[in-house]
Structure 1
Amino acid sequence: MAARGNALKRRVRSSGGRLLRRFGLLPGGMPDGLGDDAALASSSLEGDVVVYFPDTQDSLYQLRSWYGPLQELHRAQGVTIVCMDSRTAAALRAETDLPVVTIALDATLDAIILRSGTKLVLYVNYNPLNTAALRSRSAIHVSLLHGDSDKVVSVSNQIKAYDYSFVAGQAAIDRLERYTTLFDAPARCIPVGRPSLDTDQVAVTVRADDHRTVLYAPTWEGGQSSAAYSSLRTHGLAAVQSLLDAGLGVIYRPHPLTGVRVGDYGETDRELRELVEASGNRVSTDRSLQQDVIDSDLILCDVSAVMGDWLPSGKPLLITRPADPHARDAATALLGMSPRLAASEAATAGSLARELIEHDLLREERREMIEYYLGDVTPGASLARFLEACRRLSARRDELWARIQEQERPAGSDSW
């Protein structure tokens, strides 16, 4: 009787889970697992490269930053995006021409990677669900992440799960050497710059006017207190009001995950949008970062990847100091040399920003750091490095996998 009762409970839980998935009622951040597994039972994936993205739509911004480079890689080697969430897959199909499939079962994923002869599996974050694809030993696994920053996630121990990591420049390698133990950063990291900046440049337009403008680009609240860098609640309203009072234009660029973990951040975001729009300024939610950079004279930002992406502009930056006493960073030279804004100083942001714009004493020192953080920033150079790194690793995979197959072939047999 007990066994029969337990079996019934399992069937109820399974049926309930299917209903929750089908009607989109799963908790936020949980993939629905509605896969194409049956249709893929004897199929192969297109191309040499898989981009594994098991996340829900909340995190799509991480993959969007790679659309341009992945389109170029698709032309060169063929790319398929593999999702675990059918809603995310549908959004991707609407936004990009890249092949997209949804796979729910580990067994399906493992078999199709092997059957397809997949050479590289790329990842844009450290989602714990990445382990489903990391099980495959027939491909080389490469962490791309979605930006280079002094956040603690940039030196996460999770980096050791991947065969290689594509990083922006030497600064990232030095950061990992300094803050990560038992990890050979020079051997496992390949600097490719920021190829997304190359492919996004085609979408920008020339700045329309010379009005002094500040880009405010805070990060989200973070997944834990050690990564609580966001200035939105502690600095945001006072700082933006100060910028406006100083006669400066404002572009407010909210982070896509704002308010996902802590609802109060969402409320502050709404208040800040209202303030910016009521003053005739811009809330930037559908433009490239490169366009916002062109239209701004200074960036006010938190410890985040936009620091490095702003650097090639040559324009000054003002970085907030986190108010959370538990926040930690993996500081490099740019963070150490840049002016910082504490929460208690937020109301002085306008005068400080105007002073930095009109008297930029650190301009040349920042210019000297561009190559250290990003390598060669000549248009197209980073994209070329990215494509060449993928090509070389694909060739290395073929060499290594052929060796493994030969070692595992049964004695006296010509086939598996």
Structure 2
Amino acid sequence: MRAAAVRLFLPTVIALSFAAQAAGALLPSVPLLVASTAVGLAADLALHRWQRGMATTLGKLHATVTVRQAVRDLLLVTGLIRIEDQDYETKYMALACGLLIFYALHFASQALAIVVRRSRTLPILTRNIDASPLRLSPAPPALLMRRSGQRLLVFGLPATAGLLVAAIADSGWAAAAGIGLSAVLALAAIAVLAARLRSSRKPVTSEEALEWFESWLAEYQPTVGMYFSGGTSSAYQANMWLEPLARLEGRPLIVLRERFMMRKIASTDIPIVCLPKVADVMRLEQSTLKMLIHPSNSGKTSQVLRIPTIKHAFVNHGESDKLSSCNPYAKAYDEVWVAGPAARERYALASVGVDDKDIVEIGRPQLDVIKPYAGAPTGSYTTVLYAPTWEGWDGNPGNTSVIEAGENIVRSLLADPGVRLLYKPHPLTGSVEPRAGAANLRIQEMIRAAVATRAAEHANERPAASAAAELERRTAELDRLTTSSFRDSADDAERMLLQAVPETGRAAAVAAATAAWETAYWDSFPAWEHLIVTDARPNVYACFNVADLLISDVSSVISDYLASGKPYAVTNTSGLPERDFRTTFPTVRAGAVLTPDASGMPALLESVRNPENDPYAAARTELKEHLLGPSDPPSVVRFNDASRALCAKAEEHRAGMAVRALMAIPSQRDAESPGQRDAETGQRDAESPADNEHVKG
């Protein structure tokens, strides 16, 4: 409820400002007219700065920024007319015509911005590739290129200010000067944009860009890669495979389909290409690329699966007992790479058409960063990580514990004075089921209230100021490595230019900087402070390393957490009895089961603090190997072996295709019938008698 009120605050202020402005214009009341105009304009600027989504929503209701600004200006002009001693015929017509000229120039600059943007939008985006042959240049300022609403408000400020001065000081010259300055700004924008349409400032054509891409493929000769397509919140699925992909033998490549995804992929040394059009994806068929891994299924995945020269392996972004972990779509891939025997059994039981021979166990190579279990908590507090999953697409109430059990779990944990809570909800929580989103907000409010209470109790136990300074320094260092102008720019051509130089060695530097940042992050908070972790940093693996206990749902979080060997609990909101719940979901068998009322929380915490009372220690060791496979050989080695084997299959398939192509095109003479050969021979004899006589002789 509070979040909705915050979202509606600025639109409400804008609406009220129009009402007050109309009243000030009709009365007339100069103070009311000036104050309401200033408040409305400030609220509109704030809306475009901090609530662009709401600005888009207003546009769908036909209350666009152009309409709002035009109404604001016309009400000002109306107010000036209503004020006494105004020369209606001269001043009104001059001001109205001036405003019309300004708006006409604004629309012209907007049309020109669209033309410039289209001329700079190429069919391919790249990162970590030298794209200097494409003759790319930095884009004009975003205010001119894409933020048309904000541009209108900013360029219209002099006109609005001039009209306000005219209302206060009865000076028509002030209004004329303000409107004139706004028109000059619009003309300047047109001049800057028009200069970008000169042939010397344009990048290469689309066809030239694609020809360059094909030549780069021939030079780089990629062998292994990752294909990814998804929504704005799904980039984490690809990012978790960046480091394992970089370790593979061969020359890796990342293939994306959505332009915005280029900003979402974390820093890496691997060359990245984005091919939005399926026709351009097909150009990979003639490349040296042998195999692609796929962390997720999407509608566009079927397009790349059509390429017969490339082998495809589904690696998934996580494994759990949920039905989504054995999706029938998996049978479309050449192989399905899973963590351990549990996933193989899961596919066999699901009977979704995936042959056992096509399943390869590789472990989870990205779990190397998880620290092993070190025994009972050593500090004054037991750190509990509550990481519920989201509600899923099918609306099953057993998917997430947030709705039915989340508040009870958090309330029980906060009631224990020896618990430090880390709350990390799934990024998609509330995206399908509004009740999940509402429960998530209530949980966060509970945690903030508990933090305030503890802060009062530990007023003298804050970390030293140097800890905050160290975190700030480490954050700046990591941001320099992971955030570039590429991420801030909305122009496709500029993105390619700013990432033209490969990020050689950046992945190692990012890994070191991330480790240092994580240490500084945890040190910047007192040991007693509860935390709400919703940003990309720290990631869930970093939370694993500081947690003594995990509470989650049936999800891949459980499988990954088992790599640590630490205790965990699963919330049962499925409605099944505990015995059936454990039977249905094998990942539960080595952990405690919590009911929606969280009544088992005290006993669970007691077993964590006293490992001798932990009934699941041996079961966790067994389940870890069942889910993630053996520790020897390491997962990284098994992942690389699977890649080499699939590349070998691709080479064998290509060789077979070449042989079949030769066999399918016999010589024309062999394909002709004897009668055809005799007829053609006779015709040649008739056309060339001299030659025939020479041959016979």
The answer to whether TM tops 0.5 is: yes
Distance 1:277 1:70, change over 3 A: farther
Letter in 1 for 2:623: M
Partner of 2:412: 242
Question: What's the offset of the Cα at 1:412?
Answer: 4.5
- Runs of 5+ in structure 1 lacking a partner? 1-18, 24-31
Describe the shift of the 1:168–1:115 C-alpha distance in structure 2 as closer, same or farther (beyond 3 A): same
Aligned residue number for residue 334 of structure 2: 163
The alignment status of 1:362 with 2:619, answered yes or no, reads no
Of residues 126-135 and 351-360 in structure 1, the stretch that sits farther from structure 2 once superposed is: 351-360
**In the alignment, residue 283 of structure 1 is paired with which amino acid?**
I
1:20-35 maps to which residues of 2 (within 5 A)? 35=124
Tell me whether 1:191 sits opposite 2:369 in the alignment: no
Separation in structure 1 between the aligned mates of residue 123 and residue 410 of structure 2, nearest angstrom: 43
1:149 aligns with 2:294: no
Contact 2:397 2:573 in 1 (8 A): no
Aligned pairs for 1:390-401 within 5 A: 390-401=643-654
In structure 2, the residue matched to 1:54 is 229
The answer to whether the aligner puts 1:322 opposite 2:494 as a matched pair is no
Shift of 1:222: 0.5
CA contact (8 A) 1:246 1:350 kept: no
CA contact (8 A) 1:122 1:141 kept: yes
**How many Å separate the matches in 1 of 2:414 and 2:251?**
48
Instruction: List per-residue Cα deviations over 1:237-284 (Å, max 9, x = no partner).
Output: 221110111232111111122222234433332332333344221223
> Which of the numbers 378, 389, 405 marks the counterpart of 2:658?
405
Indicate if the aligned counterparts of 2:397 and 2:574 stay in contact, CA closer than 8 A: no
Structure 2 residue identity aligned to 1:52:
Y
Deviates more, 1:222-231 or 1:101-110: 222-231
Give the superposition deviation at 1:35.
Answer: 4.6
Cα 1:42–1:291, aligned 2, differ >3 Å: closer, same or farther? closer
Where does 1:6-405 land on structure 2 (aligned, <5 Å)?
35-36=124-125, 38=207, 39-41=209-211, 43-44=213-214, 45=217, 46=220, 47-73=222-248, 76-92=249-265, 95-110=267-282, 112-185=283-356, 187-198=357-368, 200-201=369-370, 209=379, 211-226=381-396, 229-247=399-417, 248-278=419-449, 279=451, 280-284=529-533, 285=535, 286-323=537-574, 331-336=584-589, 338-343=591-596, 345-346=597-598, 348-357=599-608, 358=610, 359-377=613-631, 381-405=634-658
Tell me the distance in 2 between the aligned counterparts of 1:161 and 1:226. 26
Per the normalisation by structure 2, the TM-score is 0.50
CA 1:79–1:40: 2 relative to 1, 3 Å:
farther
Distance 1:353-1:301 versus aligned 2 partners, 3 A rule: same
Give the TM-score taking structure 1 as reference length. 0.81
Secondary structure in 2 matching 1:108: helix
1:172/1:109 CA distance change after superposition, 3 Å: same
Contact 1:82-1:101 within 8 A present in 2 as well: yes
Q: How many pairs were matched up?
A: 372
Q: In the alignment, is the contact (CA less than 8 A) between 2:339 and 2:364 conserved in 1?
A: yes
Change (3 A) 1:208 1:277: farther
CA RMSD, Structure 1 to Structure 2 (Å): 3.0
CA deviation digits over 1:294-327, x for unaligned, max 9? 22222110000011111132222110113489xx
- Match for 1:121: what amino acid? L
**Offset, 1:227:** 8.1
- Greater relative contact order (Cα < 8 A, sep 6+): 1
8 Å contact from structure 1 (residues 175, 330) kept in 2: no
Provide the rounded CA distance (Å) in 1 between the counterparts of 2:667 and 2:639.
42
Secondary structure in 1 aligned to 2:313? strand
**CA distance in 2: counterparts of 1:191 and 1:100, whole angstroms:** 27
Mapped partners of 1:224, 1:95: distance in 2: 34
Q: CA deviation at 1:210?
A: 5.2
Q: Distance in 2 between matches of 1:89 and 1:324?
A: 42
Shift, 1:218, TM fit:
0.4
Could you tell me how far apart the structure 1 residues matched to 2:385 and 2:659 are? 57
Deviations 1:47-90 (A, max 9, x none): 112311121321001111112102212xx212222112111113
Task: Give me the whole-angstrom Cα distance separating, in 2, the residues matched to 1:60 and 1:301.
Answer: 22
State the one-letter code of the partner of 1:287: P
**Which structure: greater helix fraction?**
2
* Distance in 1 between residues matched to 2:591 and 2:242, nearest whole Å: 31
Residues 95/394 of structure 1: CA separation in 2 closer, same or farther (3 Å cut)? same
What's the CA shift for 1:148? 1.3
When residues 412 and 276 of structure 1 are mapped into structure 2, their CA distance, relative to the original with a 3 A threshold, is: farther
Write out per-residue CA displacement over residues 134-180 of structure 1, whole angstroms, 9 at most, x where no aligned residue. 11111111101011110111121111111101100011101111122
Call closer, same or farther: CA 1:168–1:40 in 2, change over 3 Å: same
What amino acid is the match of 2:571?
Answer: T
Take 1:299 and 1:139, find their aligned partners in 2: how far apart are those partners? 40
The percent of aligned pairs where both chains have the same amino acid is 29
In structure 2, the CA distance between the partners of 1:371 and 1:35, relative to structure 1 (3 Å rule), is same
8 A Cα contact 2:370 2:563, kept in partner: no
Cα-to-partner distance string for 1:321-347 (whole Å, 9 max, x where unaligned)? 13489xx9994533245332232x23x
Is contact 2:591–2:620 with CA below 8 Å preserved after alignment? no
Q: What are structure 2's unaligned runs of at least 5 residues?
A: 1-113, 126-205, 372-376, 452-528, 669-697
2:122 & 2:370 partners in 1: Cα distance?
Answer: 36
Q: Secondary structure of the residue that 1:176 maps to in structure 2?
A: helix
* Inter-partner Cα distance in structure 1 for 2:370 and 2:593: 29
CA distance in 2, matches of 1:33, 1:194: 37
Report the secondary structure of 1:141's partner residue.
Answer: strand
Q: Secondary structure at the match of 1:51?
A: strand
Cα distance in 1 for partners of 2:627, 2:255 equals 31
Name the counterpart of 2:487: none
Deviations 1:10-55 (A, max 9, x none): xxxxxxxxx8xx89xxxxxxxx997557423452445112311121
Structure-2 separation of matches of 1:163 and 1:227: 34
CA distance in 2 between counterparts of 1:329 and 1:56 reads: 33
How far apart, in 2, do the equivalents of 1:97 and 1:277 lie? Answer: 39
Deviations 1:364-406 (A, max 9, x none): 122122221112236x811111112111111121012111121
The 1:401/1:57 distance shift into structure 2, 3 A limit, reads same
